[in-house]
C-alpha cells in the first residue's frame, strides 16, 4: 500500500520524527527554499500536518492541501492553528491535553513561589556576594499567607493549580466564561471584579482572538499596588505594554511570566526589572512530559488513519465516524 504523506511545520522531537518517518512520507516545510514551489509540488498528496511548537497553520496553508484530513498539534494550546476554518472544512484538529497538566501546574506553583517570595532576586543577591557584604536579604513584602488567589481559566491546568493551592491552604476564586457548579471555589463573571478582590492573579487561559488583551490596564489597576500577576497561559492574553507600565509605575507589585507576546523576544524593559520573574516558556518542558506529548501527537495521526478519528480532537472539530 502506498505510504501516506505528512507535512511537518518545524523541527520536532526525535521520538516524533522517528515514528512519523517510519510510518509515513514526511515533508519538511521549514526546510523548503521556495515554499510556494514546495507546496505546489507536494500539496495534493498531504493528508496530515504535524504542527511543531510555535508554528502557524492558517487557512491559506490548509487551502493549498486539498487532501488534508488531520492537523495534529504538539501542545494543548492551538491558537496558532485556524481550528474554526479546519472544522468548517471537515478537517480534524487534535492537541495534546491532560498529559502535560500536572507538569504545567507544578511549574506554575514554582513560578508563583519564586515571584511572591522573590526567590530569583534573593539568589542573585547571594551569588553577587551581597549576603556576606551587606547582611541578610530584605524581608519580602509579599507572602502566600493571608492572600487570595484568583485563577483566570479554571480548566484542566487551572484545576490542577487549584488542587496544589488547596494543599497550601490558600483561598481560591476563579473567572471564566462559565460558572462551574461542581467546583468549591467562588466564581466571578467579571474579571475586573475578581482582580479587585484578590492579591494574586494566575492566568491560564488559551490564546486567540477571544482572549486577546483580556488582562489590560483596567484589570491590572484593579489588582492594585500589592497585587501579583502570574501568566502561564499565552503572551497574547495580556496587554504587554500595559503590564510593563504598571510594573514600572509600581501600580502592581510584581509579575511572574512564562509566556510573552512575541516569543522568543522578551521586552528589554522586563529583562531589566528586578521585581519580575521571567521563564522561557518552560511550563511543560521536561523530558518526561514532552515525550508523552510527542507520543500523543503521533498517536492522533496514526489513530485517525486507523479509525477515522484522532484520540484527542479539539472542540471545533467535526465529530465524524
Helix (H) or strand (E) holding 231: strand 228-231
Binding mask 170-189 for ligand NDP (x = CB under 6 A): ------xxx-----------
In this chain, which residue has its C-beta nearest to ligand NDP?
Answer: 155
Calculate ∠ Cα 38-43-46, nearest 5°: 125
Please give the size of the binding site for ligand NDP, defined by CB under 6 A: 29
- Sole binder of ligand NDP in the list 10, 110, 206, 224 (CB under 6 A): 206
Q: Is 301 in the site for ligand NDP (CB under 6 A)?
A: no
Task: Give the 3-state secondary structure of residue 184.
Answer: coil
Pick out residues in 230-289 that bind ligand NDP (CB under 6 A). Answer: 232-234, 258-259, 281, 283-284
Q: Is the peptide bond before 264 cis (omega within 30 degrees of 0)?
A: yes
Contact string 92-121 vs ligand NDP (x = CB under 6 A): -----x--x---x-----------------
Nearer to ligand NDP among residue 155 and residue 313 (C-beta): 155
Closest CA to 170 of 142, 200, 195, 139: 200
Q: How far is the CB of 38 from ligand NDP (least distance, A)?
A: 30
Helix, strand, coil % over all residues of the chain, rounded to 5: 40, 15, 40
Q: In this chain, which of 73, 86, 157, 222 binds ligand NDP, going by CB under 6 A?
A: 157
Is 53 a binding residue for ligand NDP by CB under 6 A? The answer is: no
Q: Cβ–Cβ contacts within 10 Å for residue 319, how many?
A: 7
Alpha-carbon distance of 56 to 40, in angstroms, equals 19
43 binds ligand NDP per the rule CB under 6 A: no
Least distance (Å) from ligand NDP to the CB of residue 225? 25
Exposure class string for 245-263: b at 16+ Cβ within 10 A, else e: ebbeeebbbbbbbbbbbee
Could you say which of 117, 156, 275, 292 contacts ligand NDP (CB under 6 A)? 156
Residue 288, judged by CB atoms within 10 A of its CB (0-12, 13-18, 19+), counts as exposed
* Least distance (Å) between residue 230 CB and ligand NDP: 11
State how far the Cα of 166 lies from the Cα of 68, in Å rounded to an integer: 45
Catalytic residues: 234, 263, 281
Please tell me whether residue 195 binds ligand NDP under the rule CB under 6 A: no
CA 217 → CA 210, 244, 251, 303, distances in Å? 17, 10, 10, 45
Q: For binding to ligand NDP (CB under 6 A), which residues are involved?
A: 76-77, 97, 100, 104, 153-158, 176-178, 204-207, 210-211, 214, 232-234, 258-259, 281, 283-284
Amino acid at each position: 500500500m502506498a505510504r501516506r504523506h505528512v507535512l511537518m511545520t518545524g523541527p520536532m522531537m526525535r521520538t516524533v520524527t522517528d515514528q512519523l518517518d517510519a510510518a509515513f512520507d514526511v515533508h519538511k516545510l521549514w526546510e523548503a527554499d521556495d515554499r510556494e514551489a514546495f507546496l505546489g509540488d507536494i500539496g495534493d498528496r498531504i493528508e496530515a500536518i504535524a504542527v511543531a511548537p510555535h508554528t502557524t497553520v492558517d487557512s491559506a496553508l490548509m487551502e493549498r492541501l486539498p487532501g488534508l484530513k488531520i492537523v495534529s498539534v504538539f501542545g494543548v494550546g492551538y491558537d496558532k492553528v485556524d481550528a474554526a476554518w479546519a472544522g468548517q472544512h471537515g478537517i480534524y484538529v487534535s492537541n495534546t491535553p491532560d498529559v502535560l497538566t500536572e507538569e504545567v501546574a507544578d511549574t506554575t506553583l514554582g513560578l508563583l513561589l519564586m515571584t511572591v517570595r522573590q526567590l530569583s532576586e534573593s539568589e542573585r543577591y547571594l551569588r553577587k556576594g551581597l549576603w556576606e557584604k551587606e547582611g541578610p536579604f530584605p524581608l519580602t513584602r509579599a507572602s502566600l499567607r493571608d492572600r487570595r488567589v484568583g485563577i483566570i481559566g479554571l480548566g484542566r491546568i487551572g484545576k490542577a493549580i487549584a488542587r496544589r493551592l488547596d494543599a497550601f491552604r490558600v483561598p481560591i476564586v476563579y473567572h471564566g466564561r462559565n460558572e462551574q457548579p461542581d467546583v468549591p471555589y467562588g466564581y466571578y463573571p467579571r474579571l475586573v471584579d475578581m482582580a479587585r478582590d484578590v492579591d494574586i492573579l494566575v492566568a491560564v487561559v488559551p490564546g486567540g482572538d477571544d482572549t486577546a488583551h483580556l488582562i489590560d490596564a483596567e484589570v491590572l489597576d484593579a489588582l492594585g499596588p500589592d497585587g501579583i500577576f502570574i501568566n502561564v497561559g499565552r503572551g497574547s492574553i495580556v496587554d504587554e505594554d500595559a503590564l510593563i507600565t504598571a510594573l514600572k509605575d509600581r501600580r502592581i507589585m510584581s509579575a511572574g511570566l512564562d509566556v510573552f507576546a512575541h516569543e522568543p523576544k522578551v521586552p528589554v524593559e522586563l529583562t531589566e526589572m528586578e521585581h519580575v520573574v521571567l521563564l522561557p516558556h518552560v511550563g511543560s518542558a521536561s523530558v518526561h512530559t514532552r515525550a508523552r506529548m510527542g507520543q500523543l501527537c503521533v498517536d492522533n495521526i496514526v489513530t485517525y488513519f486507523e479509525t477515522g478519528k484522532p484520540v484527542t480532537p479539539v472542540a471545533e472539530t467535526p465529530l465524524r465516524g
